């Protein structure tokens, strides 16, 4: 059964994400402060950690990412932020994040990204991202190599 940890200092965001991603075949835990999240990632084998980058604390989502990757190299981390920039996304991917999503959330994008991260965490090949709808130009492809291309 996949195990997911959601980390955000905003309890409503944690609750929203837990409801959005909750299924009978998943176990979802939440932490509202980095210290709690760091203790959980050291003591429990999560398949996926979803963390806000900007937590109202000394530690950030990047600190949680690094601690989780040391404790669980096969697990994945999805970082989220309400103040996303290209530079932040690049830093997140370089630090080992599976992906980076900006608030406000696109529910379909969140669900699809979580499914791909869980598939990769379980040792499978990453599922291809779905085709995106027509609309204004956006940052497409957020893998590490693509972020480097966009930065240039």
Domain ranges of the chain: 3-123+141-151
Q: Maximum CA pair distance of the chain? A: 44
Cβ–Cβ < 8 Å for 81, 54: yes
Which pair of structure tokens corresponds to residue 55?
């937590």
- CATH topology for 3-123+141-151? Rossmann fold (3.40.50)
Q: What are the tens digits of pLDDT across the range 56-100?
A: 888 889 999 999 999 988 899 999 988 767 888 888 888 899 999
Q: What are the tens digits of pLDDT across the range 91-141?
A: 888 889 999 988 888 899 999 999 999 999 887 554 444 444 444 444 455
pTM of the entire predicted model: 0.79
Give the pLDDT score at 152.
Answer: 56
Give the pLDDT score at 151.
Answer: 59
Q: At what angle do helices 61-71 and 34-43 cross, to 10 degrees?
A: 10
Which pair of structure tokens corresponds to residue 127?
């599922």
């Amino acid at each position: 059964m996949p195990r997911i940890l959601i980390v955000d200092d905003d309890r409503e965001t944690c609750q929203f994400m837990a409801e959005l991603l909750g299924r009978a075949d998943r176990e979802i835990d939440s932490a509202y402060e980095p210290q709690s999240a760091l203790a959980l990632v050291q003591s429990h084998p999560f398949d996926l950690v979803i963390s806000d980058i900007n937590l109202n604390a000394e530690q950030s989502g990047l600190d949680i990412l690094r601690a989780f990757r040391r404790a669980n190299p096969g697990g994945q981390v999805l970082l989220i932020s309400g103040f996303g920039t290209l530079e932040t996304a690049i830093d997140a991917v370089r630090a080992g994040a599976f992906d980076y999503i900006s608030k406000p959330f696109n529910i379909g994008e969140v669900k699809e990204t979580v499914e791909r991260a869980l598939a990769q965490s379980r040792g499978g090949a990453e599922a291809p991202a779905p085709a995106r709808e027509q609309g204004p130009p956006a940052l497409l492809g957020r893998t590490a190599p693509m972020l480097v291309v966009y930065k240039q």
